[in-house]
Structure 1
Amino acid sequence: MWYAWLETQRNLMRMLGTWTVPVDDGKSGNAAAPRVAAVGYDWMYRLLQPPPEPPPFDIRTVRIGERDVAVVEQMIDRTPFCALRKFSRTPDVAASVSEPGGAPLAEIFLCTPLAGHHAVMLRETVETLLQDGNVYVTDWTNARDVSLDAGPFGLDDYVLVIQRFLRAAASAPLHVVAVCQATGPALAATALSASAGEAPLRSIALMGGPIDARLAPTAVGRFARTHTLDWFRTVVIDTVPPPYRGAGRRVYPGFIQHAAIVAAHPDRQWALESRYWASQCSGDERAIAGALRRLNEYAAVLDMTENYFLNTIRVSFQEYSLARGSWQVGTHRVRPRDIVSTALCTIEGARDDITGAGQTHAAQTLCSAIPLGMREKLTIKVCDHYDLFTGPRWHETIHPALSAFWRSI
């Protein structure tokens, strides 16, 4: 098994943590001579020994106008497979607190994708959304750290977790923002709540996700469609080895996902590496820390359970269950047409090579009962998949448009 082999290599690197080379200081017999790591050790260590835990969000302040406002992070709810975090501008505000001009402070629910990366990869997104109000974040657990006693976890369970967390956060009407793979489950949870007659969300924004992967299929979608579930089960599913808490759990390992992402988007990895080494050369400690943090966030990968991974391929890329109206979560059919009072915004990048053109905008057709005045459809020029939630396109175009949409409804 690749997982067990890689763990063996990582254990070796841990042992080599004390493998250093003495530097001759010209004083024979000096036991305190300085020591340096063997050449290439630091590069190999980063390659084979990623951080055992994802870096923390560590968002302490947010810039609002001309002042820095303190931010408090809380754990609101959790299941074995996910935690719901809340980032609040202090003092912890409720619906009764208003922004300048009398507009109510927004409550935003960021539904992060469970697609190989920890939620902290969207730290920049969270920081930006804090300019609008308090932010809830779904923080998915690495499946290697969930014991077998917690039971299986599939795509339907993902939807049910989102429903549970939306109820836990429902002290005020919520603006939901779902990114990438999270768009389908977030739309399903919203539809199921609408069908059950629950209080509607204020809005839902879907960004770069495969609502209907039949449209303009990308290489990712074509690969998922043309390989059987048995092929994936045989080739990419592995078993978590000891000493992890989830030993024995069948997973799609994060290190495979990370290798695939780097191979598909080497330019992004190169840009992060280049920024880090340029910062090192400049000697700017603040820039070095920021560049290293971004590298660690991008490298913070997680394992997905076998059931969830294969369910996602089947539902989203082989049966197109949401688009065809055949998706059933438990005994309940997912009916986006039951959503009436929740505003809808769909956002796509014109250069997105992960989610094809029209795949996210397809939600506009599925949610047929939402009034035209409560809809927005944005296609961002010169924008790839990652630009949708990080970098200049996010800051200069997408976030301002999203804020304007929220103010308009």
Structure 2
Amino acid sequence: MNTNSFYRPVSGLDLLTRIGNDPPLRGRVILDTLARIEDVDPDVRAMTAVAQREAVMMASAAAAKGALAGMPIGVKDIFDTDDLVTSYGSPIYEGYQPRSDAAIVTLLRRNGGVIMGKTVTSEFAYMAPTATRNPCDMARTAGGSSSGSAAAVAAGMVPFAIGSQTGGSTIRPASFCGIAGYKPTLGMLPTVGMKCFSWSFDTVGLFAAGVRDVAYLAQVLSGRQLAVDGVAVSPVFGVPDSYPWTEPSVNASAALDTAIRAIERAGGRVRRVRFGSWMADMVSAHDTIQSYEAWQTLGYEYDHHRGVLSPKLAAFLDRAAAVETGTYAKACVLMAQAKDRLSELFDGLTGLLTPSAADEAPHGLGSTGDPAFNRNWTLLGCPCVNVPGLWGARGGPIGVQVIGRPWEDARCLDAAAFVEQAIAATAGRHPAL
């Protein structure tokens, strides 16, 4: 089997343009989407529940109004849906049927989106591996915890999908699967009706084929001017000269260098920057805050169903129980102080540019990959975009990450679109496409 045979992302913007205000064509898109899921998902395993009311869905798509009218969308299975089982990736909630939609699902429906199904998540959006395979190479993981959302978009099952990020659960899977992933500024999109893991970090994430697609979806759901109409003019990117968490692989460094050359050829500029010592402090602060909060948010599951938890999550919660309130409070103070110092980090820059992950997707399904390149930005509440288009030495996608100041999401997305266009102009596309 050609290992790239399932990689076929579809541009949501192109699809919206094609179907326009044509009700029969919208219905046809729903049928095609269901057929693609039926054909591909037994191998990719991105979906955990698929809507079965074909006629109702076609009618809903035909009658839909709004900026997403008739668009098929996948929703990560940590968001409640009143018409689909929501199990949060855990056997504890097998067959659980919420009585209401999560707020982000309501926003999708209000704008005409058609929920095709729920996508696979790691257990409670932590790091336990899932059975989802990477559409670019079926021998590799799709990442996590939003494995199903990333894989569903990469395999062309849906043009848009909803995920989440508490550490690196949007940017990393997007990088592994060769698509755009966007983690907005903390708090921009509502998390009501999402199974909480860490209230200081949980962020709704968005997936689409490319940066312009994900920016459009973000605009629709946020009500902010985020869609990319042009590209940034002469953006300035800061590239760290070293990292306080772990160094990128030779593979990831080569991809970053390719992106830098593309940016400079396209008229952008790159400056080397050095992280202050406080950035290293944020690595442990993230672990402390996440642990303390998860010990509380998953308290019921731990106290009543510990034997059903995966060994990875159970061991994490065992450790989390030892985090004292005073230690947590100190970490929160460090986080607040770090956020106050972000202005100096971004001084004179349009955004930062780093690898999205330490390497290509690992082979096998035993790990979802290392979120080291994402955690600090989640803690700091920064908008982040995985820019697709580059491929590593071992034949898998490998993304670069554009990071912006909090609440400068439009600037961050514009800069990411610049990088994406520059890469496409100079690096070409993968021969499988």
TM class by smaller structure: 0.3 to 0.5
Normalising by structure 1, report the TM-score: 0.33
Normalising by structure 2, report the TM-score: 0.32
Task: Name the larger-Rg structure.
Answer: 1
Greater strand share, structure number: 1
